[in-house]
Structure 1
Amino acid sequence: MHRKLLILGSLSGFLAVILGAFASHGLEKVLSMSELSTFEVGIRYQFYHTLLAILCGSISALSEKSKNTIFYLILIGMILFSGSIYGLATNNLSAFDFKTIAWLTPVGGIFLISSWLVLFFNVLKMKKK
């Protein structure tokens, strides 16, 4: 499972850099400052959880079950949270009204928060040397 977390982290980081460059060099002409700021929030949280995936993939003390749980919480959370934010920020560029699925943002946030809690409780269970 550590491999999956590292793949998730590296792929997510790759996509976040591309999305950041796209926002800076392509979207700034078609989005308002508020929409661009919203888009950047999605990128920022994607990066935070990219680093979390890499960290968790690198911690040998985490059980495979915990790594598996964290993997899915981060993956689903990033898709729902950052993905919905990207959609909402670019809503005026699409025929689809992303406001109808805005409720996915807090659901994704719950998944992301849960990934941190799983890590926290696993750290608490670690034995002191």
Structure 2
Amino acid sequence: MNIFLFLGGLNGFLSVALGAFGAHILEGRLSDHYLSTWQTGVQYQMFHAVALLAIGILLSKFPDSSLLSWSGWLFFVGIVLFSGSLYILSISGIKVLGAITPIGGVSFLAAWILLMVASSKLF
């Protein structure tokens, strides 16, 4: 099993489901600010679900690339920390959770850097 193709598909699915949940269930129940925060989490989750799919495809061609593997895991950690913290913040209003979000953002940035480095070595 290609774990990154699986995680990409799972996160793509969850992004669509959580986007629909936000649009149909949370609208009118959350302030516009928190609904916007929720949608930011959905967007970033979908962007990085696609990145996970790309990593999975690349790893099928370059299975021994540790740079690609690390990039994939950092994308996944970024989704959990960045989008996950925004979802919980939106529903709970616990502002301290906003301190976790940048850690997820740094994880995304590191993953993109590793993908760039891998591309310079593999192609």
Normalization by structure 2: what TM-score? Answer: 0.90
Runs (4 or more) in structure 1 with deviation over 3 Å come to 61-64
For the pair 1:103 / 2:102, whether they are aligned, the reply is no
Deviation at 1:32, TM superposition (A): 1.4
Deviation at 1:62, TM superposition (A): 6.3
Q: Which has the larger radius of gyration?
A: 1
Does structure 1 conserve the Cα–Cα contact (< 8 Å) formed by 2:52 and 2:76? no
Q: Deviations over 1:13-40 (max 9, x none)?
A: 1111100110010000201122111100
> Percent identity among equivalent residues?
35
Which ranges of structure 2 fall in alignment gaps of 5 or more residues? none
Tell me the secondary structure at the aligned position of residue 30 of structure 1: coil
Q: How does 1:105-120 map to 2 (within 5 A)?
A: 105-120=101-116
Amino acid at match of 1:18: A
Does structure 2 conserve the Cα–Cα contact (< 8 Å) formed by 1:5 and 1:71? yes
C-alpha RMSD of matched pairs (Å): 1.6
Tell me the secondary structure at the aligned position of residue 31 of structure 1: coil
Deviation at 1:125, TM superposition (A): 1.4
Which ranges of structure 1 fall in alignment gaps of 5 or more residues? 93-97
More helix by share: 2
Matched pairs, number? 121
Does structure 1 conserve the Cα–Cα contact (< 8 Å) formed by 2:44 and 2:83? yes
Question: Which residue number corresponds to residue 78 of structure 2?
Answer: 77
